Amino acid sequence: MLIYKQFTFDSAHFLPNVPEGHKCANMHGHTYALSVFVEGHPDEKTGWIIDYGDLKKHIKPVIDILDHHLLNEIPGLENPTSEILTIWLWNKLKPMIPELKRIELKETPSSGVIYEG
């Protein structure tokens, strides 16, 4: 079984390695939508895989690093494509949430990344 929790954050970035003239070379921002999926079996007593409050407690400090910041200034995100940002998020979250199965990151309503480690 998979459960999920969704988060949003706003960040600015620019992509330094795109071809000359590409619009993403200019600084711009996104309201990112992050879905975090956890896999497991419901506990016999609680009926939960994980308490959503505990999930939020682990994820919020990571989101706070990104929210309302220039991603390019964060170590490891010097070229903050959605793909690289998703791997960065996974590497921060997986040690705290061993049951983590998948993350989905949308940078626009129609564009995003799914990553399963």
Task: Determine what percent of the chain falls in helix, strand and coil, rounding each to the nearest 5.
Answer: 30, 35, 40
Active site residue 30: no
Q: Is 68 a catalytic residue?
A: yes
39 bridge partner residues: 2
Q: Which of 24, 58, 99, 104 is catalytic?
A: 24
Q: Which of 22, 28, 68, 116 is catalytic?
A: 68
Q: How far apart are CA 82 and CA 105, in angstroms?
A: 7
- Is 107 tagged catalytic? yes
Catalytic amino acids?
24, 68, 107
